Amino acid sequence: MHRIRPLWLLICLLGVALPAWAQTGTPLPTRPGLVPQDSLSAADTAWMLTSTALVLLMTLPGVALFYGGMVRKKNVLNTMAAVVAVASLVSLLWFAVGYSLAFTPGTSWLGGDARLWFSGLDYQKAVGKVAVSHAAPNVPESVYAMFQLTFAIITAALIVGAVVERMRFSALLWFTGLWSLLVYAPVAHWVWEPGGWLAQMGVLDFAGGAVVHINAGVSGLVCAHLLGPRRGYGREPFEPFNLGLTMAGAGLLWVGWFGFNAGSAVAADGRAGLAMAVTHIAAAAGAMSWMLGEWIVRRRPSLLGLCSGLVAGLVAITPAAGFVAPRDALLIGAVAGLVCYWGATGLKRLLNTDDSLDVFGVHGIGGIVGALMTGLLAHRGIAGVQGDVGVQALGALAVLLYSGCMSAVLLWFTKGLVGLRVDDESELTGLDLTQHRERMGT
């Protein structure tokens, strides 16, 4: 177990101080409430129901397959079990506390208690009224709350990729549960609730470049650093179990990402259509540019590189999806593929951290690239907003610092509670058997 170095202490101090410095004061005077049922849009509601299912598909089974195929055979079931358990745990915490903290008015830091246990998400057929969120007034609030739940799920599940093959299952659940309430919910409130301080400052994050990808990426990096490397890391080959599973997971991520980005329009309209188009273009550009970079450096392309590149393109277009034109998406995806290839190779060596499945190299770096390029390329004519690279950089930095700081604190707490890492014998045997008493078939 590594000791927390002065750099992490500085990150902690800055992560706490920056939101206080930039806080803008009172929240907007809007809040959830009841409206006549016939005031809602049936088309928007149908699209949001579909998008919710698509985003859940990204995690179950998308992330589970994507990650499960990349680890060694003795840890495949543990990796998949971690994704399923995280999805279930985050769902219950979102229902109980998380949604209210993230998406109700409160302060510019955190929401209130109006929607604890989904209270107030009413459907009153007798009087023809239904609850709606001020952030999505054309669909039932129950649909919007579930849509946002799927984002909370996948963000926490992404962190699994940084800690596979060595973290205690119990420690993962304790850390993830606390992280979803103390890191994800506040950051979602800052960026996506109209009264959040980053929203008021003008940070653009259409579908989660900062809230999802930078957030999960830097948390994964901190987890990997403080856990320490896997036994044999850098000295022996870690052969993936089945890259066919990884490709299947990547395909599900690509398809599900249409709900992720186009669903974030919260409407079945032209903006959703544009978001779908730019999402596909960026994914394809990311796959091709990663492949090109790998082909030049390693003299051959790989399936894993193509899968990683398409995810890099998807990550980078996420904050920009509702703000940029298709030609911009081509540029964003191409840049992200190359930069994330460097993030998963050269930068990873410089950081000297065993981020097992390159969560920071792909999601963290891709999220930063996307956030900055959103500020550079966002068109006022498309979304009625003008991008600002400085504001985008400040938003990305705020999330990076807060997430890194709180992740370190939560890991320290979890270590004292249940310990963080399995013993050497368990790691050598494999977590499938030692954590679950299960093993893959022949």
Specify the pLDDT at position 442: 63
Taking the C-alpha atoms of residue 388 and residue 393, their distance in angstroms, rounded to an integer, is: 9
Q: Diameter of the chain by CA atoms?
A: 68
Q: Which residues contact 5 (CB under 8 A, 6 or more apart)?
A: none
HEC sequence for 389-437: HHHHHHHHHHHHHHHHHHHHHHHHHHHHHHCCECCHHHHHHCHHHHHHC
What pTM was computed for the model?
0.92
Give tens-digit pLDDT for 94-120: 999 999 999 999 999 999 999 999 999
**Percent with pLDDT over 70 in the chain:** 93
Mean pLDDT of 423-433: 96
Give tens-digit pLDDT for 12-41: 444 444 444 344 343 333 678 899 999 999
Q: Hey, which residues does 132 pair with through a beta bridge?
A: 33
Give tens-digit pLDDT for 157-215: 999 999 999 999 999 999 999 999 999 999 999 999 999 999 999 999 999 999 999 99
The phi, psi pair for 30, rounded to 5°, reads -115, 150
DSSP per position, 313-353: HHHHHGGGTTT--HHHHHHHHHHHHHHHHHHHTHHHHHHT-
Q: Does the pLDDT of residue 9 top 60, yes or no?
A: no
Q: What is the mean pLDDT of the chain?
A: 93
Q: Which residues contact 235 (CB under 8 A, 6 or more apart)?
A: none
pLDDT range class, residue 411, cuts 50, 70, 90: very high
